[in-house]
Amino acid sequence: MLNKNRDVSKKILYGWLLFLTLGIVLTWLTSHWVGVSTALELRQVAKERLSLYQGTLTGALEKYRYLPFVLSGNEDIKQLLTTSRSDPYFSNTVSRSLSATNNKAESNVLYVMDNKGNTLASSNWKDINSFVGHNYSFRPYFLDAMQGKEGRFFAIGIASGIPGFYMSHPVYEKEGIVGVVIVKVNLAPLQRQWRDGGETVFISDENSVIFLSSRDDWLYKTLNPITSERMKQIKSVRQYGNSSLEQLTYKSAKFAGEKIIEINKRKYLETTWIITNQRWNLHYLFPVDLIKERQRTTIAIGSVLLITIFVAALFIRERRQKQISSRRALESEKIQAINQQLEVEIVERRRTEKELRSAQDGLVQAGKLAALGQMSAAIAHEINQPIAAMRTFVASARLLLQKGKIEELDISLQNVTSLTERMGAITGQLKTFARKAPSKLEHVEIMQAISRAIALVQPLLDSGNVVLTIMPPKHLLFVEGDEVRLEQVFINLLRNAIDAMEHIDKKRLEIFVEEKDSNVVIRVRDNGTGLNDTVINQLYDPFFTTKINNEGLGLGLSITYGIVKDLTGHIEATNNAVGGAEFLITFPSSNKPTD
């Protein structure tokens, strides 16, 4: 029972461990899936945002693209670059015109350079930072235009310090390229717009330098290290003014199965867009925290669910345990009540048993006395006859003595002796019968008990002319009991049989003794009146008798029954097929005594 309980609780523990492991694995898988799907979702959003940012950038630049081209065909500018190069008055006129156009177009600066890189006219000719008179021949947009190409270049203004995008176009005359027209677009408003948008977006150029960013602290920082040669080149064109172009702490990492980047120890989901005609990269970053937050929420929900299930199961188990224990308590109360009742019944039974036993003992004793009483009549009859005979023998002995017939006298005296011996035998039997049964049992040879019983009823057998047949066993059979009581059993059966055959002519009494299945079986059969239904039903009831004129006490069979049961035997009465009754008694065989 204890082992079974231990097995059950082990099984429950394993079940819980399995449930917890599955729960944890499931929660982890779900959080991973949430991470991946959030990353995919964010990437999709990022692509849309990038497209938007790219659109605003291109829009901001493209609207000025045609300005240098249009101005390169302006006759005044052409004249300034050819015939009126050293005419300051004409230069001012062109500058004024450029200023007007610049204001109208809302560009930052419009200016004209000769083929040596000297600025001849500029929209900011009146400003303190006027470009007029400065030489920018080192700027790539000048060099590109001098090669007949459209120049495009991002740089920090040398004179103004304002970052801007420069677009240039060559001015052609018959003799070739005579100068370059340039428009500078201020990107500061766009950057402000990006910063105010609250998102993380930036552009890096072909050298991986961030030159436009929603984050000011990342401006003019590089994503990848720049070779010294390249750095020299950048410095020579003074693209980023005096910026030292430090490298950001930037590296690639992986998160929720997605490639992400880490800048200054913070992780971002990065989506890039290549702006091909500028060889720029537009970057859009989503902080990974957003993904982590969703994953944490998933884990929290999973944990709460697990804990809830666990607590609910514990609660249900507790309740069930309580129900079981209260049911058990109820059952044990019932059992206790039954036990108490049983105890009472046992006490009662013992008391009844004791009473019965003493009653039975009394009955045995009473039965014996009754039997003795009845027997004494027969015995008196038996003894009276020898006494009468003895009287006759003694009287004739005296006569023989007077006559001196000594020899005949001796015969007479011998007869007297044998008569007294017979009387002694009868009284001896009576003594045995009157004794109370001993409490200690012994091995009794069954035929000996039967023989003694027969000896005791012999006068009745003789007077009734009963033919007695005995079929003894093949060898000695023993039963455990006491001789006196066993004798009494057979005396009762024999006496009843003799009584039942009272009015029968040829009285036959048969006794069979044999061993069957480790039992000693005794059958006492007569050819008397037999047993009718009324008799059979009350046979063993005390004081049941059919014998009239106070001949029977109705105790014989009841005492017999008690003795047989006492000796763990069995008694059964049936009718013979040919008439008469048969009593079958069975006792367990006992081992033959060793002495």
**Rounded CA separation 231/225 (Å):** 10
**Rounded to the nearest whole angstrom, what is the least distance from the CB of residue 547 to ligand ADP in the complex?**
4
| Nearest distance from C-beta of residue 422 to ligand ADP, angstroms | 27
Residue closer to ligand ADP by CB (options 174, 506) is 506
Helix (H) or strand (E) holding 512: strand 508-516
Nearer to ligand ADP, 518 or 550 (CB): 550
Burial-class residue 79 by CB neighbours within 10 Å (0-12, 13-18, 19+): middle
Q: Token match 């948008």: residue?
A: 197
* CA 219 and chain centroid, separation: 63
Of the pair 207, 545, the CB lying nearest ligand ADP is at 545
Decide whether 201 or 531 has the Cβ nearer to ligand ADP.
Answer: 531
d(CA 559, CA 573): 15
Are the C-beta atoms of residues 409 and 394 closer than 8 Å to each other? no
**In whole angstroms, how close is the CB of 510 to ligand ADP at the nearest point?**
12
What does the block give as tokens for 136? Answer: 């920018």
Could you give the 3-state DSSP secondary structure of residue 84? coil
Instruction: Decide: residue 84, CB within 10 A, 0-12 exposed, 13-18 middle, 19+ buried.
Output: middle
Phi, psi of 539 (to 5 degrees): -45, -45
Residue 161, SS3 per DSSP:
coil
User: What dihedral do alpha carbons 343, 346, 347, 352 form, nearest 10°?
Assistant: 160
Q: Which residue is nearest to ligand ADP (CB)?
A: 556
Q: How far is the CB of 412 from ligand ADP (least distance, A)?
A: 41
Q: How far is the CB of 558 from ligand ADP (least distance, A)?
A: 6
What's the closest the beta carbon of residue 525 comes to ligand ADP, in angstroms?
9
The letter for the amino acid at 377 is A
Residue 437 CB, nearest approach to ligand ADP (Å): 18
N- to C-terminal Cα separation, the chain? 51
Quote the DSSP letter at residue 247: B
By C-beta, is 219 or 555 nearer to ligand ADP?
555
Q: Which one, 547 or 570, has the nearer CB to ligand ADP?
A: 547
Mapped onto helix, strand or coil, the DSSP state of residue 92 is: helix
Question: For residues 313 and 584, which CB has a smaller minimum distance to ligand ADP in the complex?
Answer: 584
Closest residue by Cα to residue 261 from 209, 211, 212, 200:
200
Decide if 562 contacts 542 (C-beta within 8 A): no
Nearer to ligand ADP, 147 or 532 (CB): 532
Q: Is 273 helix (H, G, I), strand (E, B) or coil?
A: strand
Minimum CB distance to ligand ADP smaller for 94 or for 557: 557
Q: What is each CA distance from 216 to 157, 200, 472, 524, 543, in whole angstroms?
A: 18, 11, 133, 131, 129
Rounded to a whole number of angstroms, the minimum distance from the CB of residue 526 to ligand ADP is 5
Please, what is the minimum distance in Å from the beta carbon of residue 548 to ligand ADP? 9
Question: Which spans in 161-219 are helix H?
Answer: 188-197
The nearer residue to ligand ADP, 38 or 492, going by C-beta atoms, is 492
Q: Where are the beta strands (DSSP E) in 426-569?
A: 442-445, 467-471, 478-481, 508-516, 519-526
* Nearest CB to ligand ADP, comparing residues 233 and 546: 546
How near is the Cβ of 357 to ligand ADP at its closest, in Å?
A: 19
Q: Across the strands, what pairs with 417?
A: none
519-526 vs 508-516, strand pairing mode: antiparallel
Residue ranges that bind ligand ADP, judged by CB under 6 A: 492, 496-497, 500, 526, 528-531, 535, 539, 544-547, 552-558, 581
CB of 405 to ligand ADP, least distance (A): 51
Residue placing its CB nearer to ligand ADP in the complex, 205 or 582: 582
Report the alpha-carbon distance of residue 55 to residue 356 in Å, rounded. Answer: 119
**Minimum CB–partner distance for residue 542 and ligand ADP (Å):** 8
Task: Give least dist CB 500 to ligand ADP, A.
Answer: 3
Amino acid at position 190, single letter: L
In the complex with ligand ADP, the residue whose CB is nearer, 297 or 465, is 465
Q: Are 284 and 200 in contact (CB under 8 A)?
A: yes
Residue type, 223: L
CA distance 39 to 288: 8
